Structures are given as structure tokens and as C-alpha cells.
Structure 1
Amino acid sequence: MTSSGGNAPDYFNNAYTQFLQKKFPNWKFQYIQRTAGTTASELITAGTAIDITIEAHTGIIDGVITPGIQYDISDLIKKHNIDLNRFEPVTIDAMKSMAGGQIWGLPISMLSLVTFYNKDIYDKFGVPYPKDGMTWNELADLTRPLNKLEDGTQYLGLVGNTGHMTLMNNFSLPYVDPKEGKSTLNNEKWKIVMESVFKGEAQDPGFQNYVRENKNKMPGKDEFTKKRNLATYVYFSELATDANMKGINFDIVSSPTYKELPNVGAQPIPTYAILAKTSRHKEEAMEVIKYLSSDEYQLERAKLGFITPLKNPEVRKAMGSGYDQKLNWNAVFYNPFAAVPAKGSFENIGEKPLVSLVPDYILGNKDLNTVMREAEETANKAIEAEKRK
């Protein structure tokens, strides 16, 4: 087994191997860690026999398509009587759109966005806590009074993790049109994302000055978990399990929606257990994939605070129950997930030009039309250069 994530062996053991070894005591499981610079293609070229690769949806292009290890398991799904209706529909649809209608693996977890808030900062300034179901505009208005310089500390009201706000946007926009092979940034919905998220959180002069002094780097996880001067942070729900969160008096609510698209949440990032074409043990590999997507395994993972791709209400209700701190875990499922759009081989190229211009936008160095035009032009040039290789 391997993964593009390059997770440390201890993480992989805690997440997968320890459960698999109990379920299949007579089988041996080997994790091949992909260190920095090691690609799936290089492993295949070296003759490494991969049975299963664990890939987030965002890693399928580099981890599966590029090395050419995709394998349709549709017949095996039928043979093993696996009911695809058990899964959150967007996870199956996302796989099919990426695989041209085929199914290369089953979803075994998801990443999704929630809104974290530090109760102590809200209490300090007498601001009411956020609630489930808020829009970006409502959350920006609520948190604006929390942008304050107090006793030498610049407090920040609201930050949405820059890359994730665009990648997982509620409008289901890809960065690059998979058919045309061109940037999608010349789109009014992208402007709504930029105006609602980044202008919404950064109108305060103190916030803007903080970014300037931070060498134009957007604040984020460190401000919430380490510096603890950030009141509200929209990020992956898994942050709740981070060791740096210990000692923070926090809770979560649903990630913000857009007034232009009510009651639709952000896209999830599904993670799949994918059966590789190189496997010499496809039946056994399918048994492993079946187990990783089972109620039995998913229940144990949910208790640890990881999002299940299953619709099973009992599994969802168990989420986070293994932790002493009781959180509003229902926030993860408060709004239906946005669809994950089809993505082509140039998708990753289209992201950086937009994300890199966010600081210039919030600081007022460039207006929105300029930002979107420059990002689109840069992305298209990079795509054309890639096509010529």
C-alpha cells in the first residue's frame, strides 16, 4: 500500500494498518512511504508491485492517472455485493467524473470545511458566538469587531484558509476547464468567492497591516493554534484533532455559505482506497477496500474525529465521541456538500496564479478585475507551456 500524501509510517499504521491487521491476521501489510520527490511513476518504473494506493481526489491525477495504474473495479463491486447507495453521493460522482464513468476505488474518508472559533477571544470583546448556517457576509459582519489591537496583540476576526476556500468553493468551479484546457477564472462566480471571502475578512486596517508585517503572507493555522490571536478560522474539521489545539477553548459551526447560493456547503475532498492495475492480488485487495469502506471500520474512525463518506446516521453520530471535549460535530453535515467538479490534468496548474494574488487583492494593491485577469493569463500561459512539453 502507498499514498501520494507521503504520510509517516506511524500515521498510516494508526489510520489503517492496525485495523487491517486485526481484521486479516494472516495477511501481511506493507506501507511504502513516498518521500519528497518520489512519484508513483518512479515506483512503477522501479518494478514496485502496488496493490492499493490511498489517494485524495486531488491526488488522483499524479498518483493514479500519470503512472497509469487505474483499474475499473465495477465488476468487483458487483461480485462483492457492495451497495454504492451507502456512500455520500458526491464521493461516488466525483470518482466517476475523474474516471470517465469507471470506478477505480471506494471512498474511505473525507476532508471538509468547518468554522472554528476561539470562545475566549469572543468573550474578551463581548461578541456573540457564530451559529450554524451563516453566510460569508453574516460571518464577516459578526467578526469585524474582533479585529483589534489590544495590549500589543493584533487580534484578527476571520480567516478562511486561502487555498481551500478556492479549491473547495461552494459553486463547484474547477480552476481549469477539463475539456477546453483553459482557466475558468473569467467567471462571475469566481468574483463572488473573492469578494465574499477575502474582501469580507480583510477590510479592517489592522488586519491589512498584520498581513504587510507578515511579509504579505496570509494568516492562518498558526494564528489560530499557536499565536492564538485569530478568533475565527475556516479550515478542515480534522484540525480539531491537532495536538496544538489542546488548551484552546473552542468549538465549531458549519462553514459559511454564499447568499447567492443558499444552503449549499463547500465541496468535500474525498479520499479513496484505489485498486492498482499492478496488483497481483486483486481479490485480496478488494477485500481490504471493502473493509475500509465498511460500517465496522468507519465507526472506529468516526470516533477519532474523521469524517465518514457513509450516509449511515449511527456512524455520523459517533463522530468525535472518542474525545473528551464535546464539539458541535454536526456542523460537518449541516449543509449538503457541493458537487466535486470534473477535473483535467492541468487542474493543479490553474490554482497557484489565483492564490498567489490574494494578498495583493486584500491589501488593495490590485483591484479584483486586475487580479482575475492576471491570474487567468498566467494560468493559461502555464497550461500552454505544459502542453508543449
Structure 2
Amino acid sequence: MKSWVQMSGKIIIASTLAGSLLAGCSGGKQEGEGAGESGKQEPVELVFYQTGNADWTEDDFMNNYGNYIKQKFPNITPKFVPVPASKNMDGLITGGQQFDILIFSIGHTHLNLIRNEFQYDISDLIKKKNVDLSRFEPFTIEQQKEIAGGGIYGLPLSNTSPVLMYNKDIFDKFGVPYPKDGMTWDEVYDLAKQLTRSDNGTQYYGFLASPEHILKTNQFSAPFVDPKTFKPMFDDPKMMTFLDNLKRFYELIPTTDGKPLEGGFFASTAQSRMFSKDKTLAMWSHFSNSAVNFPDDLNWDYASLPYFKELGQVGPQAYPGYIYISKTSKHKDEAMDVIQALTSDEFQTIRSKMGIETALKNPEIKKTFAQDLPKYKGKNIQAIFPQQYAAPAPLTEYNDLAWKRLNEAFGDIGRGKKDIVTAVRDSSELLAKDIQAEQTKKK
């Protein structure tokens, strides 16, 4: 039985699946089913908001989460606030919109949860509901405890990290061996040199990475902002090494009449088009889940993200997605029951089968990754799970500002407009002003 269906590039859970899963369950109480005795419960509406799916409709939400929730908890009516209703949360908050459950990536947690003061420590609810935190990848919980100063605001709902994706046809065309798991950056650079070439009027490119995403998850765990002083840390030697490594790949790209490279070489959407539609990019690094929308005629595969010799086989940092209970919610108990259901082995297995990485440690769930997606058949799935994730870099409420400034700086570096030292110095000065402006707003 197909557990999910794919429509218009979106992955959605078929509503019939939730019913069939429950029908097949034994009479025992299911994990996360604390509010499942709905006959004894009053009707409750829980309002959801999430970032990362700007085109989601109410139907998309229901097919991904809502129908499963309703099957588990018939007394709960999930309501979704579409992202297009406001490009950020400000308009919704000003309009008096209340939220119960919030779903944000780690990158949006400070920006949307903490900056808007929706954070709520669920430590007591975790104890009350007997939530077993040891089921989750340890770094996902450690990251939450760091953000909450020892408490915990949310549980990990999903995970992803950068990986290397490559077009087999381009390698075959030029007789270059495919990349393998466990390669160093130097080895991948050698491949990129062989594949950056023109053939019959078509320019091919060896390697590109989405700077925004690979910098956020850098293998050195280099911080962007000092968590104590809030001073920019772009000039940290580890970050400078990472920037220098990425820079050399862009230096391979030929320019026209000495003009700087176009912005598309630094934007993930344009890179995705070069890799999957134009088929002129041999290797691309982005989050592993970006492969879900590749066309069926693309002859591609995964390899693990290259390693730095000095670090050994340390992969990138993870980029989890978390599910939170809003401080303003009047139904925190019910919200916690829903969170338990969405982080249960059952639901996480459903999501894993359709190409959404779990943040649970359970190796059996990881083995099910993308089993129900034909385009992943025969792919090197193990490459997306690093043998060792890099430790999470310290986060602050100003990291979203820092990511923006460093991404801009790398654009200048990659285009050859500025050397690394100058670009880092200039972006650090701009970030310091950004942080000062934010701090002034609070006073």
C-alpha cells in the first residue's frame, strides 16, 4: 500500500493511511496517545503555524499532519495558519492571531519563536507525560537545552544536513569516476577541476554548494556570534578555513570578459535548476531532502559530504526541525499529546518512508528512508546519515542576521569582488551595527 502520495512537487500523507494504521493496531495504548480517550475529553481546537513551506494550503497541512492528528485524537481539531497570510509572523501577531503549536527549523527558532516571545519550557510536561528524551539524537536535545538555558522549548520533528549529490551522466560523459563516501574536500576539488569544462558549446560546472546552508552547518562548528558578548565571530580561524575551502571551487568557474559571476551561482534555487533541469552541474551540495523534487529523468546519486583532513570523518552539523508549544496556548496538555504522537516511532516511520529524515536514534526507522519513493530506489541512502555529526555551534538570537551578512560576504568573495579578509571585516562591521540596532529596539 502506498502510504503517501506526491502531488505538484509536495509530499503529503494520504488520509486513508492514518485510518489503516490505526485499524491495524492492537488494543494497547499507542505511544503519544495520552489524549486518545477522546470520549472523556472536551473538544479542543489547536492552531498550528510553521515556516519552511510557504506554498502550503490547509489541505497540505491536513494531509501531512492534520488527518493523522484527527485519527489519533478525535476531540482535537487542528487548524493551520498558512504562511502566505503574512510573510513573517508580525502581521499575524498584530492582528491578534493566537497559536498553540509552532513548527520551526533550528534556523528560525530564535527569529520566530524567541524574538516574538512565544517560547515555553515544556520540562514539566515532559515529566508529566513520561517523554523519553533518550529516543532522540542527543545533539537535538542538547541544542534545545542550550537555547532554553537548561530547560527545553520543543522536541525535534525532523532532521536534515548537507550531502553531496552528483549527476552520473556528466561523470560518464567525461570518463571521470563517481565521488565516493569518505572523500576529502581535496579529492572532490580534483573531481571538480576535471568536470569544469566546455563541450560543444555547453559549459559544465564541477561543484557548487548553497553557501547559506553549508555555512550554517559548517563542519568546524565555527560560531557566527559570540553567545556571551554578541560580537561577530566571522574572523574565527575555523570559519576562515571553511570560507577559503569553498572559495576555491568558485575560482574554477570561467567568467566572461572578466565580469563577476552571476548571482545564480550563489542561490540555491538557481543551483538546483543547473543541477536537475539544465544538467550542467556535476556535483551539488545542499540539504539531502532537496532531492525530493528532482525530475524522474535525472540520473543522480548521493555521496557523503567531503571531510576535512584535519577533522577526520566528521560530517556537517545537523539542521533539525522542532515542534514547539506556544506560551500563549490555553491547551498545553493537549498540545503535548499531539507532539508525542508526531514524534512517535509510528509517525516518524511514515515520514521516513517518504524521504523526511527522522531525528530519532532508532536505526530501524532510518533504514526505511524513502522506501515509498521510486526515485530513491538504488540510491546511496546511507550517505545522508553522517557517521559523526559535527557538534552544534552556539546559537544566539542574532544568528539570522549573521547568516545573512556572511552569505552576502561570501557572494563578494566568490565573485572576486573582495578577498576573504576584507569581506569578513566589512560584513562583521555591518553585523555589529545590525545587532546594535536590534538591541536598541528592546530598550
Q: TM-score, normalised by structure 1?
A: 0.93
Aligned to 1:238: 289
Aligned to 2:355: 305
What is the CA distance between 1:216 and its match in structure 2? 7.1
Counterpart residue type for residue 390 of structure 2 = A
Distance 1:352 1:62, change over 3 A: closer
Q: Distance in 2 between matches of 1:300 and 1:216?
A: 35
Equivalent in 283, 294, 304 of residue 254 of structure 1: 304
Map 1:24-173 onto structure 2 (within 5 A).
24-35=73-84, 37-173=86-222
Given that residues 158 and 358 in structure 2 are in contact (C-alpha distance below 8 angstroms), is that contact kept between their aligned partners in structure 1? yes
Q: Distance in 2 between matches of 1:160 and 1:64?
A: 28
Equivalent in 353, 356, 359 of residue 405 of structure 2: 353
Q: 2:250 matched to 1:202?
A: yes
Residues 60-79 of structure 1, C-alpha deviation per residue, up to 9 Å, x if partnerless?
11221122121111111112
Q: 2:396 matched to 1:341?
A: no
The 3-state SS of whatever aligns with 2:347 is: helix
Given that residues 314 and 386 in structure 2 are in contact (C-alpha distance below 8 angstroms), is that contact kept between their aligned partners in structure 1? no
Given that residues 255 and 261 in structure 2 are in contact (C-alpha distance below 8 angstroms), is that contact kept between their aligned partners in structure 1? no
Structure 2, gaps ≥5 residues long: 1-47
Given that residues 118 and 249 in structure 1 are in contact (C-alpha distance below 8 angstroms), is that contact kept between their aligned partners in structure 2? yes
Distance 1:173 1:33, change over 3 A: same
Equivalent in 362, 367, 383 of residue 331 of structure 1: 383
Counterpart residue type for residue 69 of structure 2 = L
What is the CA distance between 1:26 and its match in structure 2? 3.6
What is the CA distance between 1:207 and its match in structure 2? 6.6
Aligned to 2:16: none
Moved more, 208-217 or 76-85: 208-217
Counterpart residue type for residue 401 of structure 2 = I
Moved more, 358-367 or 164-173: 358-367
The 3-state SS of whatever aligns with 1:176 is: coil
Q: Distance in 1 between matches of 2:66 and 2:212?
A: 31
Counterpart residue type for residue 72 of structure 1 = D
Moved more, 42-51 or 249-258: 42-51
Q: Distance in 1 between matches of 2:104 and 2:415?
A: 36
What is the CA distance between 1:150 and its match in structure 2? 0.9
The 3-state SS of whatever aligns with 1:35 is: helix
Map 1:246-325 onto structure 2 (within 5 A).
246-325=296-375
Counterpart residue type for residue 364 of structure 1 = G
Counterpart residue type for residue 78 of structure 1 = K
Counterpart residue type for residue 5 of structure 1 = G
Aligned to 1:362: 414
Distance 1:63 1:382, change over 3 A: closer
Q: Distance in 2 between matches of 1:220 and 1:214?
A: 11
Aligned-residue Cα RMSD (Å) equals 2.1
What is the CA distance between 1:89 and its match in structure 2? 0.8
What is the CA distance between 1:251 and its match in structure 2? 0.5
Given that residues 113 and 255 in structure 1 are in contact (C-alpha distance below 8 angstroms), is that contact kept between their aligned partners in structure 2? yes
Distance 1:42 1:359, change over 3 A: closer
Q: Structure 1 stretches (4+) deviating beyond 6 angstroms?
A: 207-211
Map 1:222-233 onto structure 2 (within 5 A).
222-233=273-284
What is the CA distance between 1:42 and its match in structure 2? 4.3
Residues 343-380 of structure 1, C-alpha deviation per residue, up to 9 Å, x if partnerless?
22221111223222324323433222222222222222
Given that residues 133 and 335 in structure 1 are in contact (C-alpha distance below 8 angstroms), is that contact kept between their aligned partners in structure 2? no
Q: Distance in 1 between matches of 2:234 and 2:306?
A: 21
Residues 332-352 of structure 1, C-alpha deviation per residue, up to 9 Å, x if partnerless?
113311222232222111122
Moved more, 180-189 or 36-45: 36-45
Residues 45-89 of structure 1, C-alpha deviation per residue, up to 9 Å, x if partnerless?
433331111111111112211221211111111121111111011
Q: Distance in 2 between matches of 1:210 and 1:96?
A: 49
Q: Distance in 2 between matches of 1:216 and 1:289?
A: 38
Q: TM-score, normalised by structure 2?
A: 0.82
Q: Distance in 2 between matches of 1:213 and 1:142?
A: 21
Whichever of the two has the greater Rg, that structure is: 2
Task: State percent identity of aligned pairs.
Answer: 39
Q: 2:52 matched to 1:5?
A: yes
